[in-house]
Structure formats: C-alpha cells, structure tokens
Amino acid sequence: MTGGNHPRRVILAGGGHAHLAVLADWAAQELPNTERVLVTRQRHLAYSGMLPGWMAGRYRAEDLLIDLAPLAEAAGARLVLDDVVGLDAAARHLRLASGATLAFDLLSVATGGTIATEAFAALGARLLPVRPVEAFMTGWDAFCAAGPGRAVAVVGGGAAGVELALAAARRGHHVHLIAPATGFMPGHGAWARHLARTALARAGVIVHASMARGRPEGLALDDGAILPVDLAILATGSGPPGWLADSGLALDPCGFVLTGADLRSASHAEVFAAGDLAARTDLALPRAGVHAVKAGPVLAANLRAALAGAGLRAYQPGSRRLALLATGDGRAIASWGQFAAAGRWLSRVKDRIDRGFVARYTRRNAIRGE
Ligand SMILES: Cc1cc2nc3c(=O)[nH]c(=O)nc-3n(C[C@H](O)[C@H](O)[C@H](O)COP(=O)(O)OP(=O)(O)OC[C@H]3O[C@@H](n4cnc5c(N)ncnc54)[C@H](O)[C@@H]3O)c2cc1C
C-alpha cells in the first residue's frame, strides 16, 4: 500500500450491517492521514432482524431504519449516495452508476447479496424480491394498501422465508411457503424445524415441498400444478452482485469475493470484503447478518492495521449461532445448534436485542463512542 504524507483514501462500499462497526470505530478514534468515504445506495439501512416484525405491522419503518448520514459524519467520512456498478481491483477504482469514478488506496466492500429473479420474470409486477430491502419495503407497503385477503407466496424456506410467510399471514393474507424439502430451514436443528412448521400451520400457511418457477398464470411447482398468486416474495438466499465478475478479484465458483480469515481479499491486499458478498477460503460461513455484524469490529481493526502496516486479526465465528425467529403472533423461536424453544418471552428478548442494536447506531453519543 502506498505511504507518504498525502492522505490515503479509504472507501467503504455499502452502508450495511458489516460496516456499522467500522463507522463506529472511526467515530470513536481518529484514523490519521486518511480521507474516508462511504459510498452506498441509500441514506438509510433497514436492520434486517426487525424486517419481518415491520412486515407484520409490529414495528414502524422508523423503528428499524438506521440513518447513515450522522454515522458517516461522526466517522469523518464523506457520504456518497450512489450505486457501485464496477470495480477495477488492479487499477484501484470503483465505477458508480452516476458515471463517476472513485479511486482508492484501501477498499472495504460489503454491498450485501442480490436475489436472482430471472426464473420468475414472467410474474411481472407480482414479483417482489426481498432484496434490495428498500424496494421490498416500498413494494410491501403498496401491496398492503389494497387490503388483506389476497394470495401471497413466499419462495425460499430459510429462516427469513419462514419469518416473512408468518408476517404476511399476520396481515391477513392467504400464504404459501415454497421450498424444496431439503431447503426448509437448512442449518437449523430438527426441533427448530418442527417448531417452525407448527407455527406455520397455526398461522394457516400452506407449505409446499417444491421448487418454483414464474409463469404468467402464477407459480409453477414440481408436480405441474400452477399456484395463482397476487404477490410472490422471493427470499431465495443471497447471490453475488454481477459487477464483481469483471473486478479482477479472486472469486469463489459462485462469484463471491474470496477472503482469508482476516477478511482481506485472497488476491488484492488493498481490498477487504465482509458480509453476504464474501466467501472464506478457510471455512463455509452461512450468509447471515450475525456474521456480518460480528465480523465488523475485526474488519475495523484490520483496516487500521493495513494502513499502519501491522499484522491482521482473524474473524473466528463460534461453531453455533443463536437465531431468534419472529413468528408474527407475539412469540419467537430460539434456535441454537440442536437446541430450540418457542415462547412469548423469547419475543420480548428478541425485541430488546433488536431495538438495542438499532439504538446503538442511532443515539448520537453512542455513535461517538462517548
Ligand atoms: C427478511 C430478512 C431477515 C433477516 N433476518 C436475519 C436475522 O434475523 N439474523 C441474521 O443473522 N440475518 C438475517 N438476515 C440476513 C442479513 O440481512 C444479511 O446477512 C446481512 O444484511 C448482510 O450484511 P451485509 O453488510 O453483507 O449487507 P447488507 O446489510 O445487505 O448491506 C448492504 C448495503 O450496501 C448497499 N448496497 C447494495 N448494493 C449496493 C451497490 N451496488 N452500491 C452501493 N451500495 C449498495 C445497501 O443499500 C446496503 O446499505 C435476514 C435477511 C432478510 C432478507
């Protein structure tokens, strides 16, 4: 990395879960001789842990939105609201949708995952991918404005898909959840899956063990049946953004940015990556906000270390992670390894954790580390 006395430009691409701790770190402690930039699509980040609760009508949008402008200001970072559409890792610059080019000395890229919609395009306006989250929130608001009682399908049986289906049922819609049998809450224990199926049955959600494809008449299932829908929500898991393909960065076979345990690109020392668009060379990490968030402090420390030419730390996730799923009825399911439980008290615990997380990044004093 180039040294000298000129300020080095450090860019954070993506104002998401992985970069919150980096902004807080910069706010708490000066990063000498740097020009800092945060380039991100939208001024607000929706905290994903509360998204199903918002969808169910339990939270207002402002309860889960984190305003990135004061965070960037406290961090001494220039906020650029734009879309990254290209990266040239060798030439060290980003291309933005506005046509601008941003050169960097050090880059951390965490713009999150994308959802592949091609197989569902025939649904047209009835299609609502859960990412980008901002567009999802606008789309769900517009759908709900026309009243309850309509047919909603959620495609994707991960924890997020289950929570979204339960939230849609809570709003009075007729809900179908579609996922192949092996794709129902993968990574969770048998008891957590049982509790989730029980919650879905109680809410009247019909679960289809199938793949789905979009047709003009509705969703085509494996057995040839067509499910007519007013809305198909895609929660099919994160894919990599397409612009990474030409970046020159080392990517895994699926197109995610390959990093070591220190979150540094496997091919370019000036590039770090974390969150949903990264893939580790040493282990397979599920794409979950908890890893994006927990990697954040390590990322912050390693960006400092990279600038100082010091050694890097490793992000070592625990072997099990606690997941708390909102079931839309004032209860929650806790899933930890093979252990699982459900109850109202877990919903209160989840609410406290989630509100605490958002508050940590919205209270001015907390942002400044005071
Ligand atoms: C409904 C739902 C519920 C979830 N619930 C949980 C949960 O309870 N627990 C859990 O662990 N995980 C959960 N997840 C997963 C979690 O949201 C992700 O793993 C996490 O958000 C990844 O963080 P990230 O920093 O990689 O990206 P994100 O948090 O997605 O942030 C990406 C940021 O980059 C911006 N951006 C995107 N593209 C561009 C671009 N081209 N240019 C500039 N900026 C861009 C976005 O606007 C955003 O600010 C849930 C996901 C969903 C969809």
Out of 276, 351, 361, give the residue to mutate to test ligand 1, the one with the largest number of ligand atoms within 8 Å of its CB.
276
Distance 41 CA to ligand 1 centre (A): 12
Six-digit token string for 127: 């299609």
Q: What is the rounded CA–CA span in Å between residue 272 and residue 104? A: 12
**For residue 325, which atom of ligand 1 is closest to its CA?**
8
What pLDDT is recorded for position 4?
Answer: 57
Helix, strand or coil, per DSSP, at residue 103? strand
What pLDDT is recorded for position 181?
Answer: 86
What pLDDT is recorded for position 113?
Answer: 94
Q: Based on the number of CB atoms within 10 Å of its own CB, is 75 exposed (0-12), middle (13-18) or buried (19 or more)?
A: buried
What pLDDT is recorded for position 100?
Answer: 97
**pTM across the whole model:** 0.94
Distance 127 CA to ligand 1 centre (A): 19
| Helix 190-202 / helix 159-170 crossing angle, nearest 10 deg | 20
**Topology of domain 8-41+82-113+239-318, per CATH?**
FAD/NAD(P)-binding domain (3.50.50)
Q: Contact 48/22 with Cβ under 8 angstroms?
A: no
Question: Measured between alpha carbons, how far apart are the two ends of the chain, in Å?
Answer: 32
Distance 112 CA to ligand 1 centre (A): 5
So where are the chain's domains? 8-41+82-113+239-318, 118-237
Distance 85 CA to ligand 1 centre (A): 17
Q: What is the rounded CA–CA span in Å between residue 25 and residue 304? A: 10
Phi first, then psi: what are they for 142, rounded to 5°? -65, -40
The CATH code of the domain at 118-237 is 3.50.50.60
The DSSP string of 260-272 is -TT-BBSS-TTEE
Q: By C-alpha distance, which of 189, 209, 276 is closest to 239?
A: 276
| Residue that has been written with the tokens 């968030």 in this structure | 293
Q: By C-alpha distance, which of 252, 305, 313 is closest to 277?
A: 252
- Which protein residue's CA is at the shortest distance from atom 53 of ligand 1? 130
Q: By C-alpha distance, which of 14, 111, 32 is closest to 72?
A: 14
- Which protein residue's CA is at the shortest distance from atom 10 of ligand 1? 289
Six-digit token string for 18: 């992985």
Distance 221 CA to ligand 1 centre (A): 28
Q: Based on the number of CB atoms within 10 Å of its own CB, is 211 exposed (0-12), middle (13-18) or buried (19 or more)?
A: middle
What pLDDT is recorded for position 206?
Answer: 98
Q: Which of the 8 DSSP states describes residue 225? A: -
Bridge-based pairing state of the strands 34-40 and 8-13: parallel
Q: What is the rounded CA–CA span in Å between residue 285 and residue 270? A: 23
Distance 17 CA to ligand 1 centre (A): 6
**For residue 164, which atom of ligand 1 is closest to its CA?**
1
**For residue 278, which atom of ligand 1 is closest to its CA?**
26
Q: Contact 10/36 with Cβ under 8 angstroms?
A: yes
* CB neighbour list of residue 91: distance below 8 Å, 6 or more residues apart: none
**For residue 321, which atom of ligand 1 is closest to its CA?**
11
H helical segments located in the chain? 20-28, 51-55, 61-64, 68-74, 133-145, 159-170, 190-202, 289-308, 344-360, 364-367
What pLDDT is recorded for position 101?
Answer: 97
Q: What is the rounded CA–CA span in Å between residue 237 and residue 17? A: 16
Omega before 180 cis (within 30°)?
Answer: no
- Which protein residue's CA is at the shortest distance from atom 29 of ligand 1? 16
Give pLDDT < 50 ranges for the chain. 2, 370
Residues within 6 Å of ligand 1 by CB: 13-18, 39-42, 45, 48-49, 51-52, 83-84, 110-112, 130, 160, 164, 241, 275-276, 287-290, 292
What pLDDT is recorded for position 314?
Answer: 97
Out of 11, 38, 41, give the residue to mutate to test ligand 1, the one with the largest number of ligand atoms within 8 Å of its CB.
41
